Chains A and B, each alone.
Chain A
Amino acid sequence: GQQLNQSPQSMFIQEGEDVSMNCTSSSIFNTWLWYKQDPGEGPVLLIALYKAGELTSNGRLTAQFGITRKDSFLNISASIPSDVGIYFCAGYTSGTYKYIFGTGTRLKVLA
């Protein structure tokens, strides 16, 4: 099935560094979602975005809905060891009941 492209695929960073990742699509969405998945668990919703250009924060996490509606960005500031995991984006168009997921960004934090 269709998937969104996430970049980078994986990254190692030092504790305390900021992290940026993005998600791109050839299709337009009217909702972007960002999830974190820890090993052995289901994805947990971090941030939901509903409007082009919207910037939303959740603690040290900030996400943006791209102005073209075809991309989204997630930033993590001052990373800590518990930020380790896989981050997925998902695009959604209301009324379609279709959520398209990204390929994932695997984050590893070095203490």
Chain B
Amino acid sequence: SAVISQKPSRDICQRGTSLTIQCQVDSQVTMMFWYRQQPGQSLTLIATANQGSEATYESGFVIDKFPISRPNLTFSTLTVSNMSPEDSSIYLCSVEAGNTGELFFGEGSRLTVL
């Protein structure tokens, strides 16, 4: 398994501002995944982050809105830029542990945009 810590756990943000979410893993991992969970919904993949290369974004998500950094094998950040109330969601960092196919999640960052 993997232990994943996210910061902040929750925040209330003003429209038009940006917020960066940090994700720290207790072991080195190749791929890190960022998901969004809108209220009452399932999980939607935003992007996959591989250390040393540009993140790969899913359809409907763009780098200008959700820039991602992956400076090393244990850390990643996701920025939600120019926020609007529609960005109010839980943002989740996840990793696959040791090529098992098992995906583990952080506790999530709950953002509320006013």
* Cβ 8 A contact of B43, one of A40, A43, A44, A94: A43
Q: Is A63 an interface residue (CB 8 A)?
A: no
Residues of B within 8 A of A35 (CB): 105
Among residues of B, the one whose C-beta sits closest to the C-beta of A99 is B103
Report A's interface with B, CB cutoff 8 A. 1, 3, 30-31, 33, 35, 40-45, 48, 50, 88, 90, 92, 94, 97-99, 101-104
Contact check, B92 vs A42: say whether CB atoms are below 8 A apart: yes
Chain B 66-101 near chain A by CB (<8 Å), digits 1 or 0: 000000000000000000000000001010100011
Contact check, B107 vs A90: say whether CB atoms are below 8 A apart: no
Among residues of B, the one whose C-beta sits closest to the C-beta of A100 is B45
Residues of A within 8 A of B33 (CB): 97, 99
> How many residue pairs between the two chains, A and B, have CB atoms under 8 Å in the bound complex?
55
Residues of B within 8 A of A3 (CB): 42
CB-defined A-B contacts under 8 Å, sample of 11: A42-B106, A42-B107, A42-B108, A43-B43, A45-B102, A48-B101, A50-B101, A88-B43, A92-B101, A97-B33, A97-B96
Contact check, A40 vs B110: say whether CB atoms are below 8 A apart: yes
Q: A97-B31, A99-B33 are in contact. Are A88 and B42 (CB under 8 A)?
A: yes
Contact check, A41 vs B43: say whether CB atoms are below 8 A apart: no
Contact check, B58 vs A44: say whether CB atoms are below 8 A apart: no
A-B pairs, top 8 by smallest CB distance, nearest first, are A42-B105, A31-B101, A42-B108, A101-B43, A42-B107, A101-B42, A48-B102, A43-B105
